[in-house]
Amino acid sequence: MSHILSIDQGTSSSRAIVFDAALRVVSVAQAEFPQHFPQPGWVEHDPGDLWATVAATARSAIERAGAPRIAAIGITNQRETTLLWDRATGRPLHRAIVWQDRRTADLCEALAPHQALIRDRTGLLLDPYFSGTKLKWLLDHVEGARARARAGELAFGTVDSWLIWNLTGGKAHVTDATNAARTLLYDIGANRWDEEICALLDIPMALLPEVRDCAADFGTTRPDLFGGCIPILGVAGDQQAATVGQACFQPGMMKSTYGTGCFALLNTGAERVASQNRLLTTIAYRLGGRTTYALEGSIFVAGAVVQWLRDGLKIIRQAAETQPLAEAADPAQQVVMVPAFTGLGAPYWRPECRGAIFGLTRNSGPAELARAALESVGYQTRDLWQAMQADWPGAGQAVLRVDGGLAASDWSMQFLADILGAPVDRPKVTETTALGAAYLAGLQAGLCPEPAEFAGQWALDRRFEPQMDEAERARRYQGWQRAVRATIAAAPDGAAS
């Protein structure tokens, strides 16, 4: 039986999963890697760590699966993270600048007069989140980089491009439409790199990779890596891969993934919906040359707030401890946490904001902080949910499909259903990001069925129905909104809005 290797390169770890032809998990390998914080608000990864952990976990997963024949590789990756490397040697010129990084906030502010052009072409807002201003920063700050880029000596890529370059021994400099759509440099209507925006940012177009469909030929691996040449046939950014893995193929279907951050995508079909509520218009996937669009809301800190409880405050040893702590919290205390550690994402887009906690008393302790941390994820999701309802009226009737690490927490998912006042569905297969990448590769390889048949295989693990009464729901959400306004007002040059 043929197998598919799914590479899932995330913000805090790299994973490799071997699926069989029926898309059942056969083996898994995972490895964390260091995070680098050279200045407040700056986040970097060592490109060598990204590649080394991917190569090691892929080999390990194949070995654990009994070294089956791998018919295809699918790749999914942390999006917007920006790399620049030498085409001749493959050596990076700088650490990767991670999607969470906020160093280009001033540059984004200076570019504000061009917001309408950028929004119209790319569907994105001017924010340090996206790759374009990160790439400009690298060209501005790495000595000689822009001249070398103009001479065609350098390559830019998001993480998928960097991995494919290494997997193919430098033979393929490619990306897919979903990752290209997150760079701030790609016209999502015309499906091409935008010369005018590249000129605006002084980015030589010789740097840019070739853009392909999500299910396509991205090259073959070096034979020495995995004992033979394996075709790379599927690529999608992590949130789009999760959308595919959740089988959200019909307009109006919505999923929310809870990893380091939280990202909600609403399928809008062939229609590009221009958000009136500061959501992003993006590419959900591109198959057979046909583009499906989505509205997206991006939250920068979701699972990362649990990591902060563990690594920063050291009040837990592992993530699973947060649920019993939250259950034990004093119900009389109303502690609210706004985890704007790297700014506020959608629908606020305030990169200058930083985290805040409200409502502390002398009796507040680890249990109350754990509950506030988990609740913050639900509150932020409601912010996105309401914005999507305003932009796409049918969104309010949709059932939210959830996945990611935090989706395993029954307490968190019940609170999410309560604060939304809507059902939340958790699938039996929660590794939907890796599953989506595997499906795309399998589709291209002829191993997997067409989307409609694949959607019929989606299976429910549990539906969480709202139990909170409307008055309590409104009271709690109003408390969250007050906390967000106060957080914005406390930021440098901030004012409540």
Annotated binding site for ATP: 11-13, 260, 303, 307, 405
Strand duo 13-20 + 3-9: pairing: antiparallel
3-state secondary structure the chain: CCEEEEEEECCCEEEEEEEECCCCEEEEEEEECCCECCCCCCCEECHHHHHHHHHHHHHHHHHHCCCCCEEEEEEEECCCCEEEEECCCCCECCCEECCCCCCCHHHHHHCHHHHHHHHHHHCCCCCCCCHHHHHHHHHHHCCCHHHHHHCCCEEEECHHHHHHHHHCCCCCCEEEHHHHCCCCCEECCCCEECHHHHHHCCCCHHHCCEEECCECCCCECCHHHHCCCCEEEEEEEHHHHHHHHCCCCCCCCEEEEECCCEEEEEEEECCCCCCCCCCEEEEEEEECCEEEEEEEEEECCCHHHHHHHHHHCCCCCCHHHHHHHHHHCCCCCCCEEECCECEECCCCCECCCCCEEECCCCCCCHHHHHHHHHHHHHHHHHHHHHHHHHHCHHHHHCCEEEECHHHHCHHHHHHHHHHHCCCEEEECCCCHHHHHHHHHHHHHHCCCCCHHHHHCCCCEEEEECCCCCHHHHHHHHHHHHHHHHHHHHHCCCCCCC
- Binding site for glycerol, by residue number, is 79-80, 129, 238-239
Q: How many CB atoms lie within 10 A of CB 63?
A: 13
- Binding site for sn-glycerol 3-phosphate, by residue number, is 11, 79-80, 129, 238
- Binding site for ADP, by residue number, is 11, 15, 260, 303, 405
Rounded to whole angstroms, the Cα distance separating 45 from 179 reads 18
Nearest Cα neighbor of 182 from 248, 137, 130, 250 is: 130
- Binding site, by residue number, is 11-13, 15, 79-80, 129, 238-239, 260, 303, 307, 405
CB 385 within 8 A of CB 477: no
